[in-house]
Amino acid sequence: MLVLGIDPGTAITGYGLVRETEEGLVLVDCGVITTSPDQPLPARLQVIYRGMSEIARERYGMAEADLAGRPFNTLRNYVFSQTSIMRLYEAYALRGKAGLAAITEELVKPA
């Protein structure tokens, strides 16, 4: 069994992949996806999403259909729904600018 752990962040997103063996857990891969603090939040979140997709595709052989499917989306949605900023990412990733605007309006009320 493979287990992926992700430490979500908008500046640095860390990830680690371990495999369960008879001897215990063995590190398979780890790394970070970084974004520029000069970029607006939606652009930074797109970098993180593309980075996660690229890692899944290139290092673990996931096809485009896999990336659009339930297992990848379930993981992405779980990880990125853990904080308010990540909730914004989910809305943007799933529904585009309209989703981001809707969730932003829900979170930030005019004075």
What average pLDDT does the segment 32-61 reach? Answer: 84
Going by pLDDT thresholds of 50, 70 and 90, the confidence category of residue 53 is confident
Task: Look at residue 41 and tell me whether its pLDDT is greater than 60.
Answer: yes
Residue scoring higher pLDDT (79 or 22):
22
- The three-class DSSP label of residue 62 is coil
Beta partners for 16?
5, 30
The dihedral through the CA atoms of 80, 81, 85, 89 has a sign that is positive
Mean pLDDT score across all residues of the chain: 74
Q: What is the pLDDT of residue 34?
A: 92
The DSSP symbol for 51 reads H
From the DSSP assignment, how many helices (H) and strands (E) are in the chain?
Answer: 4, 3
What average pLDDT does the segment 27-35 reach? Answer: 89
